[in-house]
């Protein structure tokens, strides 16, 4: 050992502390007094003393940062070259007011798309990445980048992200691009689809047989059916959205004498928010009373926290698999079809989810600049009082 190494080892020993656990095994700690206190900070050291790894671990403990082995550490962020695509994207994140106005989920999706684009090799097998190229990508190359993605929806999502990036770049002062030429690249035509499967009465009955009243799964289904709302709204509904009759307009009380749910729909809540007031039907009141509800939202995770939209969707899909019904169906949309009377003949007389209750649950009222005193706005034709029910 060299003299310099001896000095280092002596300096290190000043901070080392060794004791034994209840099994008699020796344990080595980094130990240093916290300034202006009588307390010590202790950090377990697990690497073999006098090795390079031990010195790295000791240096991390001395600096007060977590230690990870080189192979476990995340790769350093890529180097940003001035005027490259990666540089333009970083500027977009920092300077774009539109991007900053997005909610966190939308920001994360946009970042994932643009990061994946930057990390792609220029050509297969090349070490040079797309993000290192000049940001003013020609039209033909943008089209090529669009077509590189597998799947129409993924390809169009990439093109839309590039369009928004270039739209911002063309609006800066001074302009980073003369114009948004990515807008000239067409989106790929999306394949025709019948959409999500809509549940039949038999499938609803099969689900309820597997998940009876009093279970969380039953509560989720009833919230879908008796409010007619999207999963992004159902997962956020809670006691704070309940309004007593005296807190709504007289017009609404004439329609429904009980309590109401007042909330702003999650979809388009920033671009074009829609605030709704919908009746809490007697059946929904009973379901909530008998079900395990959370403190902030009716539906909570096993850890007592609200579900994310994707988390609730995955959890509900698992319950559908247990009940042997389509796991990615849309029960709320399917029930709206029944309310329209399209399958009225298929509803047995003894079904607990009565058609009239479900029909009433769609009596939506909109509040906001386009409404006056909570009057009905854009109610579906089958719910309008001046229309004869078909």
Single out the residue of 288, 290, 265, 287 nearest to residue 276, CA to CA. Answer: 265
Per-residue confidence (pLDDT) for residue 367, from 0 to 100: 42
Per-residue confidence (pLDDT) for residue 272, from 0 to 100: 87
Rounded distance, CA 159 to CA 190, Å? Answer: 14
Collect all residues with Cβ–Cβ distance below 8 Å to 212 and sequence separation of at least 6.
218
Per-residue confidence (pLDDT) for residue 330, from 0 to 100: 56
Rounded distance, CA 293 to CA 214, Å? Answer: 10
| Cβ 222 vs Cβ 284: under 8 Å | yes
Per-residue confidence (pLDDT) for residue 89, from 0 to 100: 97
Per-residue confidence (pLDDT) for residue 71, from 0 to 100: 56
Per-residue confidence (pLDDT) for residue 211, from 0 to 100: 96
Tens of pLDDT, residue by residue over 74-96, are: 667 778 889 999 999 999 999 99
The pTM for the full model equals 0.62
**Lookup result for tokens 């916290």:** 34
Give 14-49 as a 3 state SS string.
CCEEEEECCCCCEEEEEEEECCCCCCEEEEEECCCC
For the chain, residues with pLDDT lower than 50 are 336-390
Rounded distance, CA 217 to CA 322, Å? Answer: 11
Question: Would you tell me the crossing angle of helices 139-148 and 152-169 to the nearest 10 degrees?
Answer: 150
Tens of pLDDT, residue by residue over 181-232, are: 999 999 999 888 777 778 888 999 999 999 999 999 999 999 999 998 999 9
CB atoms within 10 A of CB 367: 19
**Domains of the chain: which residue ranges?**
3-72, 85-184, 201-383
Per-residue confidence (pLDDT) for residue 263, from 0 to 100: 95
Single out the residue of 49, 7, 53, 8 nearest to residue 27, CA to CA. Answer: 49
Per-residue confidence (pLDDT) for residue 352, from 0 to 100: 37
The strand pair at 40-45 and 242-243 is best described as: unpaired
Q: In the CATH scheme, what is the code of domain 201-383?
A: 1.10.443
């Amino acid at each position: 050992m060299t003299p310099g190494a001896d000095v280092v080892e002596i300096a290190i020993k000043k901070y080392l502390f060794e004791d034994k656990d209840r099994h008699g095994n020796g344990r080595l700690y980094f130990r240093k007094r916290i300034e202006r206190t009588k307390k010590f900070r202790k950090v377990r050291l697990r690497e073999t003393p006098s090795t390079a790894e031990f010195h790295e671990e000791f240096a991390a403990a001395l600096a007060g940062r977590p230690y990870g082995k080189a192979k476990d550490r995340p790769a350093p962020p890529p180097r940003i070259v001035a005027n490259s695509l990666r540089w333009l994207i970083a500027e977009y994140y920092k300077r774009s007011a539109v991007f900053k106005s997005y909610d966190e989920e939308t920001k994360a999706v946009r970042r994932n798309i643009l990061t994946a684009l930057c990390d792609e090799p220029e050509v297969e097998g090349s070490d040079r990445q797309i993000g290192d190229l000049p940001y003013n990508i020609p039209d033909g190359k943008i089209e090529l980048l669009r077509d590189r993605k597998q799947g129409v929806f993924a390809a169009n999502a990439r093109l839309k992200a590039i369009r928004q990036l270039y739209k911002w770049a063309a609006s800066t002062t001074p302009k980073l691009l003369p114009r948004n030429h990515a807008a000239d690249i067409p989106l790929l035509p999306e394949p025709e689809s019948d959409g999500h499967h809509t549940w039949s009465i038999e499938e609803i009955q099969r689900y309820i047989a597997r998940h009876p009243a009093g279970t969380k799964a039953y509560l989720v289904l009833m919230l879908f059916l008796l409010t007619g709302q999207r999963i992004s709204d159902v997962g956020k509904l809670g006691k704070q959205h309940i309004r007593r009759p005296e807190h709504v307009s007289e017009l609404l009380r004439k329609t429904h004498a009980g309590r109401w749910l007042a909330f702003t729909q999650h979809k388009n809540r920033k671009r074009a928010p829609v605030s709704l007031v919908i009746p809490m039907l007697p059946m929904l009141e009973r379901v909530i009373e008998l079900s395990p509800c959370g403190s902030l939202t009716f539906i909570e995770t096993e850890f007592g926290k609200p579900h994310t939209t994707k988390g609730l969707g995955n959890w509900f899909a698992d319950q559908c698999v247990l009940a042997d019904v389509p796991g990615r169906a849309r029960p709320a949309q399917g029930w709206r079809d029944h309310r329209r009377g399209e399958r009225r003949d298929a509803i047995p007389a003894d079904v607990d989810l009565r058609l009239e209750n479900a029909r009433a649950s769609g009596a939506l009222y909109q509040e906001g600049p386009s409404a006056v005193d909570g009057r009905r706005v854009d109610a579906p034709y089958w719910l309008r009082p001046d229309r004869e029910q078909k």
